[in-house]
Amino acid sequence: MRIVALEEHFLVPPLVHAHFDASSNPGYSPESDVVLGDLDVGRLAAMDEHGITHQVISASMPGADLLDGDAGIRFAQETNNHLGEAVRRHPSRFGGFAHLPMREPEAAADELERAVRDLGFRGVMVNGLTDGRFLDDERFAPVLARAVALDVPVYIHPNLPPKAVYDCYYQGLPGRTGSLLASGIFGWHSETAIHVFRLALAGTFEKFPGLTVIVGHMGEMLPFMLGRADDVLTSRGGHPISQTIVENVYITTSGVFHISPFLNALTTFGADRIMFSVDYPYSANAPARKFLDALPLSPLDRIKISHGNADRLLKLDISANE
């Protein structure tokens, strides 16, 4: 069966190291440079070993959202060009999400259009907050409007928390446990859920009809909390928001390979809104594929989650040849 994965990461090591201390990414190691930088033989071999047909690839942290002005614009352009070359080399195996200079929203909107129209990318990935602001901030209206005009989704991926948040919530724990709690254990996922809740509560989906958002990690805890959110809002005279979120948000399985949260996601979002992903190379292809194969799904729902939803949403050309 065709298998599409769409939270799969890369970086351009010389570009990243010229601007950042890459160790600020909790998943980084010197060895990861090799894996993240490989957009050819090694990555394809890892995909083939576990029957993954197509990766939609996005830039890992740290990135252009941390750079002001021309530096951020150039970083994003170089990153997208590098990925675009790999997509041209392997059109049936790779797609791309644009990396944007989010601190310069007008330039970011133009770069998104260039990446979609000229490089053939399928949407944009935004890594968490930009300069302490969520996407509901009016500052980012040009990016959201351009995504709607281009009819491409916005994948909201976690990022490192702002320093004030880290110091309050995660400081003072032994060893690396604070940084892990702030990231993959819990912090990343709660912040991304807040990001989506803010979009819904701020009326962003109404301001930008047709805006489609993707989040990973089995919905970033949203499936578990939507019912509670509706109860709290309606008990205080407000309007429920679960329908708004379910109708505008897709979720992926990236990095969460357990049946219980999957069943929660399935009963909340439905099979038409869930897409398989690995979170490569931070998560491995082997357990992700084993999890997919073991899911208690009907044949039709298995097709939807394995590739059908991604093919439809991202308009993937399944006939593309090497």
Give, in degrees to the nearest 5, the angle at Cα 266 between 126 and 99: 10
Query: Is 256 domain-assigned?
Result: yes
DSSP line for 76-130: HHHHHHHHHHHHHH-TTTEEE-B---TTSHHHHHHHHHHHHHTT----EEEES-B
State the CATH number of the domain containing residue 174. 3.20.20.140
Whether 32 maps to a domain, the answer reads yes
pLDDT digit string, tens, across residues 126-172: 999 999 999 999 999 999 999 999 999 999 999 989 999 999 999 99
Token pair, residue 18, equals 């010229």
The secondary element (H helix, E strand) that includes residue 56 is: strand 54-59
Can you tell me the mean pLDDT for 104-116? Answer: 98
- Exactly one of 65, 279, 301, 311 is catalytic; name it: 279
Give residue 247's pLDDT. Answer: 98
Q: Is residue 225 part of a domain?
A: yes
Give start and end residues of each alpha helix (H) in 183-281: 187-201, 204-207, 222-235, 242-248, 259-269
Percentage of the chain lying above the pLDDT 90 cut: 93
For CA atoms 42, 43, 49, 54, the dihedral sign is negative
Residue 321 lies in a domain: no
Q: In the sheet that 54-59 helps form, which strands lie side by side, from edge to edge?
A: 4-10, 54-59, 94-96
Domain that holds residue 93: 4-314
Asked if the model's pLDDT at residue 87 lies above 90, the reply is yes
So what's the pLDDT on residue 321?
47
- At position 24, the amino acid (one-letter code) is S
Spatial distance between the Cα atoms of 14 and 32, rounded to a whole number of angstroms: 13
- 51 is a domain residue: yes
Count up the domains in the chain and report the number.
1
Tell whether 322 is covered by a domain: no
pLDDT of 319 reads 63
pLDDT digits (tens, 9 = 90+) for 28-69: 677 888 999 999 999 999 999 999 999 999 999 899 999 999
Asked if residue 141 is part of any domain, the answer here is: yes
33 annotated active-site: no
Residue pair 67/93 in contact (Cβ under 8 Å)? The answer is: no
Mean pLDDT, range 285-290, rounded to an integer: 98
pTM of the model: 0.96
- In whole numbers, what is the pLDDT of the chain averaged over residues? 95
- What is the pLDDT averaged over residues 96-115? 98
Classify residue 320: in a domain, yes or no.
no
Dump pLDDT digits (tens) for 175-223. 999 999 999 999 999 999 999 999 999 999 999 999 999 999 999 999 9
